[in-house]
Structure 1
Amino acid sequence: MRVLIATLGVALALAGCSALPSTGPLSDDVVKLADNEIEKRYVLVDVDDRTVAILSKYQGPSLRARFGDYRPAPQIRIGIGDEVRVTVWEAAAGGLFSAPVTDRFSAGSRSAVIPDQMVTQDGTIAVPYAGRINVVGKTPSEVEQVILSGLAGKAIEPQALVTVTRSLSNSVTVTGEVTNGARIPLSPRGDRIMDVIGTAGGVRGTVHETFVRLTRGNSTITVPLENILANPQENVFMRPGDILTLVREPQTYTTFGAIGANTVVPFGKIGLSLEEAIAKAGGLSDFRSDPDGIFLLRFEPPSVVRELVPGRDIDARERLIPVVYRLSLRDPKSYFLARTFRMRDKDVLYVANASSVELQKFLTLISTITGPVSTGVTAAAVAKQ
Structure 2
Amino acid sequence: MTLLAACALPRSGPSKNEIYSGAVEKGGNAHVIYVNDHVNRATNFVPSYGFSNSFRSAGAVGADEIRAGDVLGLSIWENVDDGLLTSLGSSSTNLQEIQVDSDGYIFVPYAGRVRAAGNTPDRLRQIITERLSSQTPDPQVTVARVAGDGATVSVMGKVGAQGVYPIERPTRTLSAMLARAGGVAIEPEIAVVTVKRGNDQGKVWLTDLYKGQNDIALRPGDIVLVEEDQRSFTALGALGGQTRVPLGNEVISAVEGVAMVGGLDSNLADPTGVFVLRDEPESVASRVLGKSVFGSQRMAYVLDLTRPNGIFLAREFMIRDGDTVYVTEAPYVQWRKRLQSITGTAVSADSLTSIGN
TM-score (norm 1): 0.74
Residue pair 2:49, 2:205 contacting (<8 A) in 1 also: no
Aligned counterpart, 1:201: 182
Where structure 1 has 5 or more consecutive residues not aligned to the other structure, the ranges are 1-7, 103-108, 370-385
Whole-angstrom distance in 2 between the partners of 1:34 and 1:143:
72
Q: Deviations over 1:113-167 (max 9, x none)?
A: 4212111244321234322212123333332232122123444444543222222
Whole-angstrom distance in 1 between the partners of 2:132 and 2:192:
53
Aligned counterpart, 2:21: 32
Question: What is the identity, as a one-letter code, of the residue corresponding to 2:327?
Answer: V
TM-score (norm 2): 0.79
SS of match in other structure, 1:234: coil
Question: What is the identity, as a one-letter code, of the residue corresponding to 1:31?
Answer: Y
Pairing of 1:59-138 with structure 2 (within 5 A): 59-64=47-52, 67-76=54-63, 77-88=65-76, 94=81, 96=83, 112-138=93-119
Does residue 1:212 correspond to 2:193, yes or no? yes
Aligned counterpart, 1:140: 121
Residue pair 2:52, 2:202 contacting (<8 A) in 1 also: no
Does residue 1:255 correspond to 2:235, yes or no? yes
Aligned counterpart, 1:106: none
Residue pair 1:97, 1:110 contacting (<8 A) in 2 also: no
Question: What is the identity, as a one-letter code, of the residue corresponding to 1:62?
Answer: G
CA drift of 1:190 comes to 6.7
Question: What is the identity, as a one-letter code, of the residue corresponding to 1:81?
Answer: G
Whole-angstrom distance in 2 between the partners of 1:116 and 1:94:
26
Residue pair 1:75, 1:139 contacting (<8 A) in 2 also: no
Cα gap change, 1:211 to 1:335, in 2 (>3 Å): same
Whole-angstrom distance in 2 between the partners of 1:190 and 1:71:
15
SS of match in other structure, 1:329: coil
Question: What is the identity, as a one-letter code, of the residue corresponding to 1:129?
Answer: Y
Aligned counterpart, 1:298: 278
Cα gap change, 1:166 to 1:48, in 2 (>3 Å): farther
Aligned counterpart, 2:258: 278
Cα gap change, 1:181 to 1:127, in 2 (>3 Å): same
CA drift of 1:200 comes to 0.8
Aligned counterpart, 2:302: 326
CA RMSD of aligned residues (A): 3.6
Cα gap change, 1:26 to 1:215, in 2 (>3 Å): same
CA drift of 1:280 comes to 1.7
Which is higher, the Rg of structure 1 or of structure 2? 1
Q: Deviations over 1:349-379 (max 9, x none)?
A: 111122333344445556559xxxxxxxxxx
Q: Deviations over 1:83-104 (max 9, x none)?
A: 11223456x675849989x9xx
CA drift of 1:24 comes to 2.1
Whole-angstrom distance in 2 between the partners of 1:200 and 1:353:
51
Q: Deviations over 1:213-250 (max 9, x none)?
A: 32111123454434435x44333222111111222355
Pairing of 1:122-271 with structure 2 (within 5 A): 122-188=103-169, 191-228=172-209, 231-267=211-247, 270-271=250-251
Report how many aligned residue pairs link the two structures. 343
Aligned counterpart, 1:352: 328
Whole-angstrom distance in 2 between the partners of 1:268 and 1:74:
33
Q: Identity over the aligned pairs, expressed in percent?
A: 29
